[in-house]
């Protein structure tokens, strides 16, 4: 597949995608003049500032500054990469995409990933059917009933049962072959080298799904009192990485979007019990500490995370370990530590969903939680204060680029420690490392962007060219770059000219693909705000006339400075030459 094929495919998808239809599936839009208005899905607001211009096929939020076309909306809202979003829209609008030219190794890798996901999906159906129908699964059904898990939750999460057998799945899926089942993590090779056996035995199983519904693996809870681990997950495979995957995100992502909140609990049954109680905006890591990737994966769905952990020391330590990660990812978070002896499962079953919601309403902000925990742990003796300061260093390091958040933390702790904010700031220095179990990921935020401070002339010129990039060359010849002063204005103008020259007719879309931050927000705002002109040619001529006059003024000022310099250096020949040019410009 050539680069031209790629570009043509993307263009076809963009042309087919109806932005009102795409956005309207998740945002309630109302007609407002030439545009449509709704509440922004990317930041909290009570007054609609999210605007869609159907004629141009662009959206822009005047509150947080995000904007783009239908593809950009799907990428941000669904938390998808570029090609995943292209594929999703292509499927929606029945557009065939050219096959990518893969190397033999890439084809093998993609084929294996697809096979593993398909094997997991088949296994999930087998285990689910076993739970629902097999007489031997009665103990599993009683167990779920005892834990108050209703049939509709069993169905929606496709819970299953692996019987007490060493070869149940091996026999059920013998057509797949034991080696393929082993690659999916469903069976284990015997140490003796003489065959395989089922990994999951006598366990209630939770299929683990990726954000797009692909089957990644399983988590299992033992029903026996033997020496098996209480909880067992699939091993890491080509499709499953527990440091990147959150259980329940696929099933609960719409509830999380609606509430704009993600509760994070520690275990699968904690999550299932909350869903059974009617609390659906919840996810759980899979037997591992929270990672940056876990938190990053929530950013496309929730505006706030609430850690809902057990009331024991392990739960408190887990919450403390997560604090720097939330700060690093710039995700608003709160912490609820349940009464000692309770986890979310036992608490909601003992006290009900309303009591849990009241507890969530009293969640501590990150500064409050950290203050209270460190003071309770170390005390406020001189030695205790020293240990508190040491424990604070990785947290302050995580927010080194966030002035407001850092000031809030330092203000909280300076009061408790009896220090001035300046004193505490001075001692909170020194090298420190934030420990994270997973690899680094690129961070993306939805924060409110300060607008670029262009002059009125710069804004008018750029606004016109963003809508009508075909005039870029004429504007440049007339003196566009002599009229632009702000570096961002010059950058936008250069990119406009380049994209129109290389990709005629798609200047604005290309700009949104290239630009970032406030410059990108400026372009998307113009695509929404600037009206279509009844006489484009006349408007262009007026602006070109102004640019030429401005270019003459610019050159006249430049010549005056050069003449003064030539006079100071007594360069009569140069001074005469410059004076002649100045007179010619003045007469034109």
pLDDT over threshold 60, residue 431:
no
Which pLDDT score is estimated for 445? 41
CATH topology (fold) of 246-427: Dna Topoisomerase Vi A Subunit; Chain: A, domain 2 (3.40.1360)
pLDDT-derived band at 126 (thresholds 50, 70, 90) equals very high
Which pLDDT score is estimated for 2? 57
Judging by beta carbons within 10 Å of its beta carbon (0-12, 13-18, 19+), is residue 556 exposed, middle or buried?
Answer: middle
Which pLDDT score is estimated for 435? 41
Which pLDDT score is estimated for 432? 36
**23-56 pLDDT per residue, tens:** 988 888 898 888 999 988 887 778 889 999 988 8
Mean pLDDT estimate for the chain: 83
**318-332 pLDDT per residue, tens:** 888 888 888 877 788
Average pLDDT over residues 456-478: 85
**516-530 pLDDT per residue, tens:** 778 888 888 888 777
DSSP annotation string for 20-75:
HHHHHTTS--EEETTEEEE--SSS--SS--EEEETTTTEEEETTT--EE-HHHHHH
Phi/psi at 114 (nearest 5 deg)? -60, -45
Among 130-134, 355-359, 467-471, the range scoring the smallest mean pLDDT is 467-471
pLDDT over threshold 70, residue 433:
no
pLDDT-derived band at 436 (thresholds 50, 70, 90) equals very low
Percentage of the chain modeled with pLDDT above 90 = 29
Q: Where are the domains of the chain?
A: 3-92, 104-233, 246-427, 449-588
Among 116-125, 153-162, 243-252, the range scoring the smallest mean pLDDT is 243-252
Q: Which CATH class is domain 3-92?
A: alpha beta
Judging by beta carbons within 10 Å of its beta carbon (0-12, 13-18, 19+), is residue 199 exposed, middle or buried?
Answer: buried
Query: Which DSSP state fits 335?
Result: E
Contact 484, 458 (CB under 8 A): yes
Residues paired with 332 in a beta bridge = 304
pLDDT over threshold 60, residue 412:
yes
Helix extents (H) in 282-400:
292-298, 313-328, 344-351, 353-361, 366-378, 382-398
Which pLDDT score is estimated for 146? 92
Dihedral sign for Cα 309, 315, 320, 323, please.
Answer: negative
**173-194 pLDDT per residue, tens:** 999 999 999 999 999 999 877 8
Q: Which CATH class is domain 104-233?
A: alpha beta
Note the CATH number of domain 449-588.
1.10.860
Which pLDDT score is estimated for 208? 96
Contact 172, 122 (CB under 8 A): no
Average pLDDT over residues 148-174: 95
Burial 347-363 (b: 16+ CB within 10 A, else e): bbeeeeeeebeebeeeb
pLDDT-derived band at 154 (thresholds 50, 70, 90) equals very high
**494-549 pLDDT per residue, tens:** 888 887 777 665 556 677 777 877 888 888 888 877 777 777 888 888 888 888 88
Unique residue bearing structure tokens 């380049």: 498
Among 295-304, 430-439, 448-457, the range scoring the smallest mean pLDDT is 430-439
Which pLDDT score is estimated for 402? 59
Cα radius of gyration (the chain): 31
pLDDT over threshold 70, residue 448:
no
């Amino acid at each position: 597949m050539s680069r031209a094929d790629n570009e043509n495919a993307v263009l076809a998808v963009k042309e087919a995608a109806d932005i009102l239809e795409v956005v309207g599936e998740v945002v309630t839009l109302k007609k407002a003049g030439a545009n449509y208005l709704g509440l922004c899905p990317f930041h909290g607001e009570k007054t609609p500032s999210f605007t869609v211009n159907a004629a141009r096929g662009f959206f822009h939020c005047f509150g947080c500054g995000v904007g783009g076309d239908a593809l950009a909306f799907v990428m941000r809202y669904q938390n998808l990469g570029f090609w995943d979003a292209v594929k999703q829209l292509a499927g929606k609008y029945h557009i065939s995409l050219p096959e990518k030219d893969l190397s033999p190794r890439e084809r093998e890798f993609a084929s294996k990933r697809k096979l593993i996901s398909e094997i997991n999906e088949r296994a999930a159906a087998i285990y689910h059917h076993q739970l629902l129908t097999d007489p031997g699964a009665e103990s599993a059904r009683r167990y779920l009933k005892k834990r108050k898990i209703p049939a509709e939750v069993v169905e929606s999460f496709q819970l299953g049962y692996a019987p007490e057998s060493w070869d149940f799945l091996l026999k059920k899926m013998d057509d797949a072959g034991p080696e393929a089942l082993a690659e999916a993590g469903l069976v284990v090779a015997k140490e003796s080298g003489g065959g395989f056996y089922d990994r999951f035995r006598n366990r209630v199983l939770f299929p683990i799904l990726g954000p797009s519904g692909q089957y990644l693996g399983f988590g299992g809870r033992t029903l026996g009192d033997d020496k098996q681990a209480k909880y067992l997950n699939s091993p890491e495979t080509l499709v499953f990485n527990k440091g990147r995957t959150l259980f329940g995100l696929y099933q609960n992502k719409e509830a999380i979007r609606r509430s704009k909140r993600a509760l994070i609990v520690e275990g699968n049954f904690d999550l299932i019990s909350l869903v059974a109680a009617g609390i659906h905006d919840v996810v759980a890591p899979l037997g591992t500490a929270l990672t940056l990737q876990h938190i990053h994966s929530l950013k496309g769905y929730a505006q706030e995370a609430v850690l809902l952990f057990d009331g024991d020391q392990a739960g408190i330590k887990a919450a403390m370990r997560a604090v720097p990660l939330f700060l690093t990812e710039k995700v608003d978070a709160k912490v609820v530590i349940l009464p000692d002896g309770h986890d979310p499962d036992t608490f909601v079953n003992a006290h009900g969903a309303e009591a849990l919601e009241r507890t969530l309403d009293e969640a501590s902000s990150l500064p409050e939680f950290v203050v209270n925990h460190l003071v309770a742990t170390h005390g406020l003796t001189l030695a205790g204060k020293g240990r508190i300061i040491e424990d604070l260093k990785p947290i302050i390091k995580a927010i080194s680029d966030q002035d407001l958040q850092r000031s809030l933390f330092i203000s909280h702790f300076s009061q408790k420690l009896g220090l001035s904010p300046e004193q505490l700031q001075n001692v909170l220095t020194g090298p420190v490392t934030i420990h994270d179990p997973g690899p680094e990921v690129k961070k993306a935020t939805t924060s409110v962007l300060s607008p670029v401070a262009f002059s009125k002339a710069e804004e008018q010129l750029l606004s016109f060219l963003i809508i009508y990039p075909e005039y870029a060359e004429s504007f440049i010849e007339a003196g566009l770059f002599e009229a632009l002063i702000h570096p961002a204005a010059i950058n936008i103008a250069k990119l406009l000219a380049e994209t129109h020259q290389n990709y005629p007719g798609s200047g604005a879309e290309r700009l949104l693909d290239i630009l970032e931050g406030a410059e990108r927000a400026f372009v998307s705002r113009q695509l929404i705000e600037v009206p279509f002109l009844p006489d484009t040619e006349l408007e262009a001529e007026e602006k070109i006339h102004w640019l030429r006059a401005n270019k003459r003024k610019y050159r006249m000022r430049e010549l005056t400075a050069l003449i003064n310099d030539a006079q100071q250096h007594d360069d009569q020949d140069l001074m005469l030459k410059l004076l002649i040019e100045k007179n010619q410009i003045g007469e034109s």
